Amino acid sequence: MGVLNFGEKWFRIPDIAKAERRGASLGMLLWRLDKKHRTRTIANINLAFPEMPVAEQANMAQEMFRHFGRVVADFLRSPLVKQDELRAQTEVQGIEHLQSVRDQGQGVLLLSAHLGNFERMCHYISLQDIKVSGIARDANESAITDKVNALRGQYMDILSRGNAARETIKRLKANELVVILPDQNADEAYLPFFGKPAGTVLGPAVLHLRTKAPILPCCHLRTGPGKYKHVYLEPLRALPEEKPEELMARVNLAIEEMVRLAPEQYLWMHDRWKYARRRGLL
């Protein structure tokens, strides 16, 4: 909790470029000190891009640490960001896809990933007079959860993972938007991700099949200090007789497509292929 309080003071400054530089420096400090995640990051990049020269893999890994340091800085200074500033700093691509799924009145399962800037993405969407909810795991310390959720409360509601299904269905029926990030390691199904079997959750497909809410891929990619590109891809809907595993395989492909837009902004330090390795699938 003390680290979070210090971070608020260190990053909550008017100059966004300076705050991001401080965040990037924090990221590189973690790169030097955190051998476990440094090693996992490089190994995962090698799994996804085996044809990439080793030096380029290392450069991408370092840039990923810098990027997530910048994202932490941006999140902690978010109370300083004005709505007009956020709109002016955001380029939008594929807005017609959001409009088409909203018009259906069945709610939207907004499919994203630990890519770019999830927090800014939700903040930007909320400016369109759309009710936004996100599903997230509570932190180990309740005080940290309360602090983080208070910051997020500016632009979205947080549904606690593990108890979110009923409330998610309720909000979709009210034609609201629920953000899902199904790109974390799981033990429900093993489906291709960058051509390798990866532990994948089935929940988003089950929710879609039950509610008919379209799955809309979306990401928010940094293009410069305080500047972002907000991207929507074509929505996903279940095909006739399609099983949850088959739909989630297509979800993985959509996430992969978004990651390829800015691979250095993806959270490669997460051990996505952990359970697949344990099962001898890699």
Supply the DSSP string of 146-165, one letter for each residue.
HHHHHHHTTT-EEEETTS-H
Range of weakest confidence among 128-137, 154-163, 177-186, 271-280: 154-163
Amino acid 233: pLDDT: 98
Residues of the chain with pLDDT > 90: what percent?
82
pLDDT tens by residue, 246-266? 999 999 999 999 999 999 999
pLDDT-based confidence at residue 135 (cuts at 50, 70, 90): confident
Whole-model pTM?
Answer: 0.93
Range of weakest confidence among 2-11, 24-33, 193-202, 228-237: 2-11
Structural domain count, the chain: 1
> Which residues are CB-neighbours of 258 under 8 A, at least 6 positions away?
112, 113, 115, 217, 219, 231, 233
pLDDT-based confidence at residue 6 (cuts at 50, 70, 90): low
Cα(98)–Cα(94) distance, integer angstroms: 8
pLDDT tens by residue, 49-76? 999 999 999 999 999 999 999 999 999 9
pLDDT tens by residue, 207-251? 999 999 999 999 999 999 999 999 999 999 999 999 999 999 999
Amino acid 1: pLDDT: 53
Of the candidates 160, 39, 20, 28, the residue with the CA atom closest to the CA atom of residue 78:
20
Amino acid 15: pLDDT: 95
Amino acid 142: pLDDT: 66
- Structure token digits, residue 80: 């300083």
State the pairing for strand pair 189-193/196-200: antiparallel
Residue 122 has pLDDT above 60, yes or no: yes
Residue 104 has pLDDT above 70, yes or no: yes
115 conformational bin, left if phi > 0, alpha if psi -120 to 50, beta if neither: beta
Query: Which residue shows structure tokens 């990439």?
Result: 52
Cα(170)–Cα(71) distance, integer angstroms: 31
Amino acid 200: pLDDT: 98
Residues of the domain holding 94: 2-278
Amino acid 256: pLDDT: 98
Mean pLDDT of the chain: 92
Average pLDDT over residues 88-104: 95
Of the candidates 216, 274, 204, 185, the residue with the CA atom closest to the CA atom of residue 246:
204
How far apart, in Å, are the Cα atoms of 160 and each of 63, 152, 164, 179, 219? 31, 13, 6, 12, 22
pLDDT tens by residue, 157-213? 888 776 778 899 999 999 999 999 999 999 999 999 999 999 999 999 999 999 999
